[in-house]
Amino acid sequence: MVDKHIPDDTLLYLNNVTVSFDGFKALNNLSFLIKSRELRAIIGPNGAGKSTMMDVVTGKTRPDTGEIYFKGSVDLTRHDEAEVANLGIGRKFQKPSVIESLTVWENLELALKGRRSPFESMFKGLSSEGSKKIDDVLLKIRLQDRRDLTGASLSHGQKQWLEIGMLLLQDPELLLIDEPAAGMTDEETFRTADLLRELSQERSVVVVEHDMAFIKALNCRVMVLHEGSVLAEGSLDHVQQNQQVIDVYLGR
Ligand code: ADP
Ligand code: MG
């Protein structure tokens, strides 16, 4: 890594990242760090660049300028989406990609097998190690008693958890989660906050959300994005008292 003043426990490093679309800067000299096993919430108005930030980290969008490093020396700007996923970064989009006609178990089995070559997944069944992995994930996402139900029969919240479970089977060191609580009931929202807190004991989790009750329940460091840069950062109480944050986001 180029900069020598970066703490050892940094997992993700963005420095002066800029992304322009037809001259409009969706990200504007964006810089921040995520530590190992950190849970970080990102808030900010629509169009602030939250999803674009995830796009540049995951290789979907290439930044015009700036540095993005993972685990110290891995230059993420040199990798495409599939490679970034294999490097240990899992991303959950807003819309779940659960296959509705398959059971919860089958969806997880597919996610696990995604790791192997198509040849292997066609001819090999699930090893006992693989089954155990799926059982562990089912427990984490609290869908043990739904394992034989189809994706279609799950509630919106349960689908989101299943999708998180599918990502966990790839064992990511960093999870990026875009607006998980949208459309969830209050109870599902709080269970999701609990789940993400639990997951962050073993990996870093970066979550974008608008739901302030959810952000509060995460009880973690919050970063406010505005016009493609960090406007404020700190505890939720801290950023909520920032007048600029109130003006551009919270007070509207
Ligand atoms: P957020 O997720 O914070 O709501 P986005 O990152 O989706 O914001 O978008 C930031 C800005 O960049 C918006 O103005 C959006 O219209 C623009 N933008 C995002 N992706 C593209 C793209 N692929 N082409 C053109 N403009 C884009
Ligand atoms: Mg977005």
At 155-193, the pLDDT tens digits run: 999 999 999 999 999 999 999 999 999 999 999 999 999
Looking at ligand 1, which atom is closest to the CA of residue 55?
6
Residue nearest to atom 20 of ligand 1 (CA): 52
Q: How many Å is the maximal CA-CA distance in the chain?
A: 60
SS3 40: strand
Question: Does residue 113 carry a pLDDT above 90?
Answer: no
The pTM assigned to this predicted structure is: 0.93
Residue nearest to atom 19 of ligand 1 (CA): 52
DSSP run (H or E) holding 27: strand 24-35
Cβ atoms of 14 and 30 within 8 Å: the answer is yes
CA atoms of 22 and 18, how far apart (whole Å): 13
Return the pLDDT at 6.
84
Return the pLDDT at 186.
96
| 61 Cα–ligand 2 center, Å | 14
Q: Could you identify the residue written with the tokens 């930044």? A: 63
Which residues, 6 or more positions from 251, have their beta carbon under 8 angstroms from its beta carbon? none
Q: Tens digits of per-residue pLDDT, 122-155?
A: 556 788 889 999 999 999 999 999 999 999 999 9
Mutate to test the pocket of ligand 1, among 14, 19, 43, 52 (most ligand atoms within 8 A of CB): 52
CA atoms of 87 and 78, how far apart (whole Å): 12
CA atoms of 186 and 193, how far apart (whole Å): 11
Cβ atoms of 38 and 221 within 8 Å: the answer is yes
User: 8: which 2 tokens?
Assistant: 């050892």
